[in-house]
Structure 1
């Protein structure tokens, strides 16, 4: 197996190279102005380790897999094009009204508790670039009013005069009958043919989202159109760079649905948060190979701390109505909770509450933490870890970044010590306590709200900064074991290399499976089966377009079920692809009832309200070879003497503590290191706080175990 996998984060660009029997990790600072530069720098570092040049590697690898932050950056910077919306006349206010409560989307829990004081986000599309056109399709897909072609041409020209550089066509009930959206597309293309320089990108809402919900579907399309140009040109420049260096195959992009696809089969919206999703997919695979059924995935990078869940009941958590930035969308994404608690998260003193806060603001990679010496002046989590003695200033990020202890000290003294009167060490301890508490609180909320107890889980800690803070948040949660996976500092990049080519297609379909009024089971299966066949055909076409062997294509059917008109609905994986008998219907109802009880408690089921299908979803995919991750088989034994000692400081302990420092290259599988201790690897550091120990596993993995 030969493949390159790259994950571009807010601070670092991570690369994982598999080349025959060689497995190589590398990191470089993310170059936000030109992502290809950081990409190629990380790849060059990896190639150097196997003594090959970049062109030799790229010309012989099977695939380049890429998780990008281009879309996220475009939203943050508001650097997208001017978008115009064509919608059904009378529905022009759907987006500005935001369901009358959308201004709370994307805010913190504290901000949502005071919605009257909340600010509406600056609109991506101003009211002047929203045009209503004469047409109407009813809820059943019947044409009530045909498209007025002259009216459409008039509105298109007006929007272009207003400066529209991309069009979103979002018509009412288009997911039931998309004929009018396709007709509008034809008219726009007639006005601005694709072969002319004045051609305008057109996004049809039914192609972006197959579910009802006009606001969320329209916002999904707006964001997709808003990101289109930057994504296209940014990724095209990267593909050109790869071609220049000998790579001739299609590049594969990671999707936030948990799969990947070629550039020609990827919508802009599907790339948002794709890096953390790759890490969670790797967690699912590791859960099986390590026989760890309950895992809390925690990814601490330079900018954020991402939390995901893998459970013994096999439930994959999706967010079917995620909030991106400040907008609700209706495209399915693998569920993750993101917290502003990375290595670059900025610490500050809140005078109103007389408390130290950390994040969500981040120093990023430019200028970065104060200790980087690149112009940053604000204290960050990385500065704190350096002051507390956990980091080696001369051997950070493989020695590519020399840290300045004095700059870190100055930043903490200026912004924390002066307003609080704390000493430098006490201020650093307070920052670490706050970071660890923020992580622990977020993890507890995510696990408990899904009906699980954190104490029954093993924490999986990865990302460049994860193993430094794992003991801190695990102790607060009562978690006794923390697993550090192989190649933990680039685990999300590794996950990108282990993903399948996959597409999800879905459609809203209100269908009663059990009618409680008449006590009848569904007995007409044609609509269900026809919808599944249509969605499966779309997924199959997506994969065939990418050159996949038809014999390799697999699929699974999922349905969203609810009791009556309840808001709570559960996604159920069907054990069959077509309904053929009442036995199939009863089996589906039993699965739904059991999952509902697991989620909300036995006895909470409400069959007396009836059971209905809201959404049918078909997942089409192709299995790919995976990088093998296997647990250690060696018997535990004491580690040798440490390479050196260092004075470190720990919250709750007065004074400096003499801490053993090990080089991971001097440790073997099965060695047990008693805390307090640091195990330094080229690109991350494992910290065993007092009362913890580290057991070294295969390929750089480790297990942190609480001993008191």
Structure 2
């Protein structure tokens, strides 16, 4: 297998190259003005390892895959085109009103508890750019009022005259019958043909989101339209860069659904959070192969801290109505929580609480932390880590980014020491303690909100800063086992390389499986089978268009079901994709009942209220060869061996301990599997630093995996 996979983050561009049996991990700073430059630099480092030219690698690999947070950043920065929107007449206020509670979406728990003072987000589409057109279909898709095409042309021209750069169409009941939305697209192309300079993109809501719910479907289409140009130009530049270097295969883009597709089969909305989702995919793959049980995936990079949960058996959590920035959307996305905590998180003095505050603002890659010596003047977590002795100023990022301790010291003194009247080491400890507490609190809240005990989980620590901060985070949560997985610094890129091609299609409907009033069991088998068959065919055509052989295409069927008029829906995975009699219907009901009982407790089922299906969803996929992980469980204590002599010592300071520690330092490449090191200790590699806190033990495993185990050895200070 020969493959290149890339995770373009806010600070670093991670590159993972599989070249036969050789795995190569490299990093470069992200070049936001031209993503291809950062990609070429990262891949160029892999070329140096292999002794090959860029063109030689790109001509030989089976695929190049991209995961990126570009869409997320564009949404946060609020830099997008001017949107014009066409809706059914009478529904012009649906998006501005946002169900009268949209201003609470995307706020933290404290903000949602103070809704009267919550600040509404800046609209992505201005109210005067929303125009109603005369048309109407009922809830079954039947024609009530024909589309007034003259009205469409009039409203369209007015929107363009007002500066609309993209047109979003979101009509009532379009998911049931998309004929009017499709006709509007034809009218736009008639008025502004693609060969004209004034041609503008058209986003149809039923193509972006296939479920009912007018507001969330409209916001999904708006967010997709808002990101369309940014993603198109950025990803197209990456594809053109590949073409310029003799890569002739389709570029693949990771989706937040946990799959991937070619660029021509990707919506901008599907790229949101695709980088962190790739890490969760890699965590699932690793947990299943290594039989790790429950794992919580934590990815600490330069800008953010991403949390995902994979319970035993490799089951991921999905959000079917996730909130992206401040907008509720209607696309299935692997569930994750993102905190504004990373190596580049800016530290400052909190005047209200008279202590240190970290994040969510980040120094990013330009100018970066103060110690990067690139013009950054504000202190960051990386500056604190450097002054506490954890980082090697001369060999950070393999020596490609020399660090300047004087800059870090000056920045912390100006922002924190002068306010708190403390030493620079005390201030650095406060920064370290604060950011670790923030991440631990976010992780605890996520696990507890879903009914899990942190003690029952193994913590996966990856990303460039994950192994550097994991002990402090886990100690706050009473977690005793941390695994820094193989290739931990580029683990999300590894996940991108392991993704399968996947498309998810779904349809909202009202289908009663059991009517409690009439005691009637669903018997319209042809309708159910026809809908499933149509969704399968859409997915099949998606993959066939991308060159996937028909015999490699597989399907999974999921049903969103509920009892009566309950608001809570439960997703059931149905092994039998067709129904032909009462036995098949009862089998679906039985599966739903079992899943409901697991989620809410056995005995909570309420079939007497009736049972209905709200959404039918088909995931169509094709599997690819993946990176295989060997047995990476920790070596039993009696079989562990002592480490070789350390390569050096460094004076380090740890939170919770007054004096400094003379801390031994090892190079990760010099440690064979089965070696045990008692903390405090530092194990360094070219791409990350493993910090072993006092009271923890570091144990090496196969394939470069490393374990942190708590309270196995006493602490000694020198």
TM bucket (normalised to shorter chain) is: over 0.9
Residues 633-642 or 33-42, more deviating:
633-642
Partners of 1:636 and 1:96 lie apart in 2 by: 63
Q: Deviation of residue 606 (structure 1)? A: 2.3
Normalised by the length of structure 2, the TM-score is 0.97
* Cα contact 2:632–2:703 (8 A) shared by 1: no
* Aligned residue pairs, count: 708
Q: Deviation of residue 541 (structure 1)? A: 0.5
SS at match of 1:638: coil
Aligned to 1:675: 679
Partners of 2:573 and 2:176 lie apart in 1 by: 23
Partners of 1:528 and 1:73 lie apart in 2 by: 41
Aligned to 2:16: 16
SS at match of 1:36: helix
Matched, 1:692 2:696: yes
Superposed CA offset, 1:623-654 (max 9, x none): 00001111247642221221111111111111
* Cα contact 1:128–1:162 (8 A) shared by 2: no
Residues 582-591 or 322-331, more deviating:
582-591
* Cα contact 2:285–2:314 (8 A) shared by 1: no
Matched, 1:517 2:521: no
SS at match of 2:306: strand
Q: Deviation of residue 198 (structure 1)? A: 1.8
Aligned counterparts, 1:67-466, within 5 A: 67-312=67-312, 314-466=314-466
Aligned to 1:701: 705
The one of 670, 677, 680 aligned to 1:666: 670
Q: Deviation of residue 378 (structure 1)? A: 1.2
Partners of 1:237 and 1:632 lie apart in 2 by: 39
Aligned to 1:621: 621
Partners of 2:675 and 2:137 lie apart in 1 by: 68
Q: Deviation of residue 407 (structure 1)? A: 1.2
* Cα contact 2:562–2:569 (8 A) shared by 1: yes
Aligned to 1:636: 640
Aligned to 1:490: 490
Partners of 2:416 and 2:516 lie apart in 1 by: 63
Partners of 1:314 and 1:278 lie apart in 2 by: 14
* Cα contact 1:301–1:466 (8 A) shared by 2: yes
Superposed CA offset, 1:646-676 (max 9, x none): 1111111111012111111211011111111
Matched, 1:657 2:661: yes
Q: Which runs of 5+ in 1 are unaligned?
A: none
Aligned to 1:45: 45
* Cα contact 1:632–1:670 (8 A) shared by 2: no
SS at match of 1:139: coil
Superposed CA offset, 1:259-296 (max 9, x none): 00001100111111100001100111001111112100
SS at match of 1:513: strand
Residues 349-358 or 580-589, more deviating:
580-589
Aligned counterparts, 1:551-566, within 5 A: 551-566=551-566
Q: Deviation of residue 197 (structure 1)? A: 1.9
Partners of 1:73 and 1:310 lie apart in 2 by: 26
* Cα contact 1:390–1:678 (8 A) shared by 2: yes
Aligned counterparts, 1:528-539, within 5 A: 528-539=528-539
Partners of 1:604 and 1:448 lie apart in 2 by: 21
Superposed structure 1 runs of 4+ greater than 4 Å apart: none
Partners of 1:452 and 1:313 lie apart in 2 by: 15
* Cα contact 1:465–1:684 (8 A) shared by 2: yes
Partners of 1:476 and 1:85 lie apart in 2 by: 48
Partners of 1:613 and 1:691 lie apart in 2 by: 52
Q: Deviation of residue 446 (structure 1)? A: 1.0
Partners of 2:205 and 2:670 lie apart in 1 by: 57
* Cα contact 1:383–1:408 (8 A) shared by 2: yes
Partners of 1:670 and 1:632 lie apart in 2 by: 10
Q: Deviation of residue 484 (structure 1)? A: 0.7
Aligned to 2:716: none
* Cα contact 1:368–1:376 (8 A) shared by 2: yes
Q: Deviation of residue 375 (structure 1)? A: 1.1
Q: Deviation of residue 73 (structure 1)? A: 2.9
Superposed CA offset, 1:456-484 (max 9, x none): 11000100000111111111111110011
Partners of 1:22 and 1:436 lie apart in 2 by: 35
Q: Which runs of 5+ in 2 are unaligned?
A: 713-718
Superposed CA offset, 1:300-343 (max 9, x none): 00000000011125432111111111111111111100011111
Partners of 2:372 and 2:490 lie apart in 1 by: 20
Q: Deviation of residue 38 (structure 1)? A: 0.5
* Cα contact 1:460–1:484 (8 A) shared by 2: yes
Superposed CA offset, 1:44-101 (max 9, x none): 0111111111111111111000112332232233322211101000000111111111
Q: Deviation of residue 24 (structure 1)? A: 0.4
Partners of 1:418 and 1:529 lie apart in 2 by: 70
Superposed CA offset, 1:203-233 (max 9, x none): 1100000001111111111111111122112
Q: 1:513 to 1:422 in 2, by over 3 A?
A: farther
* Cα contact 1:487–1:701 (8 A) shared by 2: yes
* Cα contact 1:31–1:37 (8 A) shared by 2: yes
Partners of 2:575 and 2:256 lie apart in 1 by: 24
Q: Deviation of residue 104 (structure 1)? A: 1.2
Partners of 1:65 and 1:294 lie apart in 2 by: 28
Partners of 2:478 and 2:594 lie apart in 1 by: 29
Aligned counterparts, 1:555-634, within 5 A: 555-632=555-632
CA RMSD of aligned residues (A): 1.3
SS at match of 1:164: coil
* Cα contact 2:284–2:314 (8 A) shared by 1: no
Residues 349-358 or 611-620, more deviating:
349-358
Partners of 1:207 and 1:173 lie apart in 2 by: 13
Q: 1:523 to 1:420 in 2, by over 3 A?
A: same
Superposed CA offset, 1:516-556 (max 9, x none): 23333323222221111111100001001101101100010
* Cα contact 2:284–2:315 (8 A) shared by 1: no
Partners of 2:555 and 2:227 lie apart in 1 by: 29
Partners of 1:559 and 1:370 lie apart in 2 by: 51
Residues 1-10 or 634-643, more deviating:
634-643
